[in-house]
Amino acid sequence: MQGVAVTGMGIITSIGLSVEENYQSLLQKKSGISEASILKTFHANHIKIGEIKLENAQLAEILGIPEDNNFTRTSLLGTFAALKALRHAGINKINDMRTGLISATSVAGMDITELYFKEYFHNPSIRKYINSHHTGDCTRKIADYLGIRGLVSTISTACSSSANAIMLGALLIKNKILDRVIVGGTDALSKFTINGFNSLMILSDSDNTPFDQNRKGLNLGEGAAYLILESWEQVKATHKKVLAIITGYGNANDAYHQTASSSTGEGAFLAIQKSLEKAQLSPEDIDYVHVHGTATVNNDLSEGKALLRIFSKVPPFSATKSYTGHTLAAAGAIQAVYSILSLQMNVTFPTLNFNTKIKEFDLTPSTDVVNTNITHVLSNAFGFGGNCCSLIFSKC
Amino acid sequence: MLKDCCYINGIGSVSIQTSAFDMFKDYPVPLQRNNKPVHPSYKEIIPPAMLRRMAPGIKMGIFAALEALRDAEINEPDGIITGTGMGCLLDSEKFLEAMIENKEQHLTPTYFIHSPHNTVAAQIALYLQCKAYNMTYSHGVSSFEAALLDSWLQIQNQFANYILVGGVDESAPIFDALCVLGKTFKNPNDSIDFHNPISDISCRAEGANFFVLSSNKKQSSYARLTDISIYHNPEDDFQKMLDEILTRNQITRKEIDIVFLGYNADVLQQKYFDNYASLFSNTALAFYQHICGSFDTASAYGFRIAAEILRKQIYPQSIRYNDVCPKKIQNVLLINQANGYNHSLVLLQSC
């Protein structure tokens, strides 16, 4: 069989603590964008964010992690979603076959580091967090919690990270290096990223409006999502239900600017083109697109151009960052879950806050729930450093 | 397991040794507790205006990448893959400090935009105008090995003919001080002993080591990259893990001519490497972190040395950890780990 089987998924975002809750929020146009109440930032009054309304201690309690832990928020969110994905796939014995974890993060432990950066020097009681800063620690926390002992690694390619993790996972299964792999990503909100995007002047002071002429920038969000990928041998042996298959993946670099996307959408175009080639599909076969759609002036223009270069008739497309905000390294995996939901339920999800088409082209995102047969979904994730990754999910 | 072969065709490095350092005849500069790289002249390859705002990791990365490409006689690779344990630490630190000092106000984005872990791979792509596959792994001491595994997959699946792969890590003053507090790096008064360490931390350094891997074998190819294994936490199964990679490649332990171990003068790490060493009685054991210092992707320097030895067929004195001299230099195994985690095994063979 072409492609790699997805047998489980887990997710946590500002629109829900489960796949079902996320699905219901998408159908009911329920946004997760709010004012900051958990994250303490100077900018709290003039930005909105996609914040998960659970304190770190609450997340730890749900996961049964002892109070004296050194989990960062990123690790807690990642552990939460990865555990849900495992349960969804009905996996109890984690090491009964070659099982790996490829996790993505960009923020990693920065949410804690930024709190204690100066205090570490005079307060020994918090030093347990020092070595929780790096990206690898975040993945290690998830792996140890789940008891994974085999191949574990971390991808950090900014906002395309978890899409790349899914791609690598598919490759590891295809090449029979692993029988099963947990792939996805996690990022928590942090002052570091809020101030970074604020200094770039691409944060919106209200709800983000993807693909709208009057878009003012992005809302940052937080979340985590993971998929379980299994080899066909395992799927057959266990008679497991396959949720979707990953048929295409493509990674390319825009090679234009460290943070801005090219006006021609070259990197995006190449990534989509590669993913179609891999899936052996033509553009007309794509029924629905989950765009990266961050609602920055630059991204939406560049991505729109790329779509117009690929498709003679652009299929229905949605930007779900209008619900969750931009969850950075987690975004690609969160979109993967939404893509699989749209395949399973044969539904396109509304894009929120859309009013006016971008004047440079004739592209209108889906703004309503539409029931339609969906066989192949394209999902885009682009990031700083010109990193572009496109994935294609197909019905089994 | 391996379908298409994967050869090392080019090498480029920036390390704490000078660029003239030749391990086959020179003694390395002795390791200090904190070590700075010997930066080459960058101005021939990077415009001064760009150079001024470039963090060491980016400069070292671009330089080492270009060296590797030149060595392999390649202008543009089909993929750029980096491994970095800590990413762009200095710009992250600068932005973080400014944010704290200025109470989240009046910040400029320069440091932030260069803070993501994939900045080195991105800047190399920008420099080369290379729109191909671009990836960054950031997973402690197995970051470089994950990048190698991906490179190998790209070549094996015929997605690429030439992959530029490298490991790069830089340091930053406040994070370094935190690492001393967090017991990752040595205090100024700690001793440095790679055979009988008494203190429990390693000697900080920076470095960039890049390689061109290809399915095309050349007369000048250094070695063949045959296989890579990464294990998160093998516990007592490290022997099983070792036998797996050997069996897969139809080699016995006895046929391994040199084992490279990531000994790093840290008493807590010693036992893990000694455990591996004990599985190879009467085999030449080599070490390298006394030459390049310790950082998450120091194993890429070990990889470089191993490749050079395989091409030159000489086993230099300066890297010998025990007294065993190999009868031939055909199969080399590189083993690394940290605190019992992130074990990696990389098998190189002469070509």
Other Cβ atoms less than 10 A from the Cβ of B234: the count is 18
Q: Cβ contacts (< 8 Å) between B131 and chain A: which residues?
A: 252-255, 266-267, 270
Domain count of the fold of chain B: 2
Query: What CATH number did the domain enclosing B206 receive?
Result: 3.40.47.10
Q: Which tens digits make up the pLDDT trace of A268-281? A: 999 999 999 999 99
Mutate: best of A128, A152, A259, A278, partner B, most B CBs <10 A: A152
Please state the φ and ψ torsions of residue A89, each to the nearest 5 degrees.
-85, 0
Tens of pLDDT, residues A355-369: 999 999 999 999 999
- CA distance, residue A254 to nearest chain B CA (Å): 6
Q: Are residues B94 and B28 in the same domain?
A: yes
Chain A CB contacts of B237 below 8 Å = 149
Q: What is the average pLDDT across B15-43?
A: 93
The Cα diameter of chain A in Å comes to 62
Residue B97 maps to a domain: yes
B186 and B243, same domain (yes or no): no
pLDDT of residue B182: 75
In a domain, B1, yes or no: no
Q: Give the pLDDT confidence score for residue B132 in this predicted structure.
A: 98
A-chain residues within 8 Å CB-CB of B97?
A: 117
As given in the structure block, the two tokens for residue A138 are 């975040």
Mutation for testing the B interface, residue in A138, A140, A157 having most B CBs under 10 Å? A157
pLDDT of residue B50: 86
User: Which pLDDT band, with edges at 50, 70 and 90, does B185 fall under?
Assistant: low
Q: Do A134 and B85 touch (CB under 8 A)?
A: yes
| Active-site residue list of A | 159, 292, 326
Mean pLDDT, residues B187-204 taken together = 82
Residues on chain A touching B108 (C-beta within 8 angstroms): 199
Candidates A148, A199, A266, A273: best to mutate against B (most CBs of B within 10 A) is A199
Mean pLDDT calculated for residue range A215-243: 97
Q: A41 CB near a chain B CB, below 8 Å?
A: yes
CB pairs under 8 A between A and B: 201
A114:B150 CB<8 A: no
How far is residue B75 from each of residues A65, A222, A252, B127, B157, measured CA to CA in Å?
51, 40, 18, 12, 22
The residue behind tokens 């266990």 is A238
Q: Report how far residue A316's alpha carbon sits from residue B229's, in angstroms, rounded to the nearest whole number.
A: 43
Percentage, residues of chain A above pLDDT 70: 100
User: Any bridge partners for residue B14, and if so which?
Assistant: B208
C-alpha distance from residue B131 to each of A256, B105, B121, B151 (Å): 9, 36, 11, 16
Distance of CA A102 to the CA centre of its chain: 13
pLDDT at B184: 60
User: Rounded mean pLDDT of B15-25?
Assistant: 94
Element (H, E) at A103: strand A99-104
For residue A201, the distance in angstroms to the closest alpha carbon of chain B comes to 9
Q: How far is CA A282 from the centre of its chain?
A: 25
- For residue A1, pLDDT beyond 80: no
CA distance B255 to chain A (A): 24
Beta-strand pair A370-371/A347-348: antiparallel
Instruction: Say which of A131, A172, A387 has its CB closest to residue B184.
Output: A131
Give the whole-angstrom CA distance, residue A108 versus residue A139.
Answer: 9
Minimal Cβ distance to B230: which of A140, A153, A156: A153
> Is residue B244 situated within a structural domain?
yes
The Cα–Cα gap between A268 and A253 comes to 8
Residue of A nearest to B248 (CA): A177
The verdict on residue B149 lying in a domain is yes
Check CB contact under 8 Å for B125 and A386. Answer: yes
Confidence at B151, pLDDT banded by 50, 70, 90: very high
Q: How far apart are the first and last CA of chain A?
A: 10
Residue B329 to residue A136: CA distance in whole angstroms: 34
Distance CA B8, CA B11 (A): 8
Interface touch B116/A106, C-beta < 8 Å: yes
pLDDT for residue B188 = 62
Of A117, A136, A196, the CB nearest to B140: A136
Inter-chain touch B134–A387, beta carbons under 8 Å: yes
Q: Do residue A155 and residue B97 have CB atoms under 8 angstroms apart?
A: no
Asked whether residue B251 is domain-assigned, the answer is: yes
| Chain B residues whose beta carbon lies within 8 Å of the beta carbon of residue A259 | 109, 113
**Span B311-328, average pLDDT:** 97
Considering only CA atoms, give the Rg of chain A: 19
CB contact under 8 A, A158 and B132: no
For residues A285, A286, A287, A293, the Cα torsion angle rounded to the nearest 10 degrees is: -170
Q: Does A240 touch chain B (CB under 8 A)?
A: no
What chain A residue is nearest to B150 in terms of C-alpha separation? A168
A352 close to A180: Cβ distance less than 8 angstroms: no
The pLDDT tens digits for A2-11 are 899 999 999 9
Whether residues B57 and B197 fall in one domain:
yes
Say if residue B27 is in the same domain as residue B139: yes
Considering the domain architecture, whether residues B190 and B314 belong to the same structural domain is answered as no
Query: Is B209 found in the same domain as B231?
Result: no
Whole-number Å distance between alpha carbons of B189 and A201: 46
How many other C-beta atoms can be found within 10 angstroms of the C-beta atom of residue B107?
A: 18
Q: Which of B112, B118, B146 sits opposite A157 (nearest CB)?
A: B118
Residue B2 scores a pLDDT above 50: no
How confident is the model at residue B49, as a pLDDT?
A: 87
Whether the predicted pLDDT of A290 surpasses 70: yes
A199 to chain B, any CB pair closer than 8 A? The answer is yes
Of A130, A153, A154, which is closest to B182 when you measure between CB atoms? A130
* pLDDT at B181 (0 to 100): 84
B1 pLDDT higher than 50: no
Report chain A residues whose CB lies below 8 A from the CB of B299.
none
Q: Are B89 and B171 in contact (CB under 8 A)?
A: yes
- CA A162 to the chain's CA centroid: 6
Same-domain pairing of B190 and B250: no
Cβ count within 10 A of residue A322 = 29
The whole-model pTM stands at 0.97
Flag if B150 and A152 touch (Cβ within 8 Å).
no
Residues B229 and B210 grouped into a single domain: no
CATH of domain A4-238: 3.40.47.10
Q: Which CATH number fits domain A248-394: 3.40.50.2000, 3.40.47.10, 3.40.50.1000, 3.10.20.600?
A: 3.40.47.10
The shortest C-alpha distance from A348 to chain B (Å) reads 30
pLDDT of residue B76: 95
Instruction: Give dist(CA B2, CA B152) in Å, integer.
Output: 9
pLDDT band at A202 (very low <50, low <70, confident <90, very high): very high
The residues near B215 (Cβ < 8 Å, ≥ 6 apart) are B4, B5, B6, B7, B155, B158, B161
φ and ψ at residue B262, rounded to 5 degrees = -85, 35
Question: Which structure tokens are listed for B194?
Answer: 């790679």
Chain A hits for B336, CB-CB cut-off 8 Å, are none
Residues 130-189 of A with CB under 8 A from B: 130-131, 133-137, 139-140, 143-144, 148-158, 164, 168, 171-172, 174-175
Q: Residue B2 falls within a domain, yes or no?
A: no
Across the interface, which of B118, B178, B229 has its CB nearest the CB of A120?
B178
Shared domain check, B229 and B210: no
Query: What residues of chain A, 246 to 265, have a C-beta less than 8 Å from chain B?
Result: 251-259
B340 shares its domain with B265: yes
CA closest to A196 among chain B residues: B112
Q: What is the pLDDT of residues B235-282, one digit of tens each?
A: 888 999 999 999 999 999 999 999 999 999 999 999 999 999 999 999
Q: Which residue has the higher pLDDT, B201 or B59?
A: B59
CA angle (A126 as vertex; A120, A131 as ends), nearest 5: 80
Q: Which of B95, B178, B232 sits opposite A150 (nearest CB)?
A: B232
Q: Are residues B15 and B160 in the same domain?
A: yes
How confident is the prediction for chain B on average, in pLDDT?
A: 94
How far from A288 is each of A126, A165, A326, A337, B320, CA to CA, in Å? 48, 22, 20, 14, 59
Q: What are phi and psi of A141, to 5 degrees?
A: -60, -45
Which chain A residue has its CA at the smallest distance from B86's CA? Answer: A134
Query: Which of B91, B106, B133, B141 to mutate to test binding with chain A, by most A CBs within 10 Å of its CB?
Result: B133
**pLDDT mean across residues, chain A:** 97
Range of the domain at B103: 7-214
pLDDT, position B5: 86
Residues B161, B155 contacting (CB under 8 angstroms)? yes
d(CA A243, CA A343): 9
CB burial string A220-238: b at 16+ within 10 A, e below: bbbbbbbbbbbbeebbeee
The Cα–Cα gap between A93 and A230 comes to 14
Within chain A, which residue ranges are assigned CATH 3.40.47.10? 4-238, 248-394
**B54 with B27, same domain?**
yes
Q: Tell me the residue type at B95.
A: F
Q: To which H or E segment does residue B234 belong?
A: none
Q: Cβ contact (<8 Å) for A140 and B104?
A: no
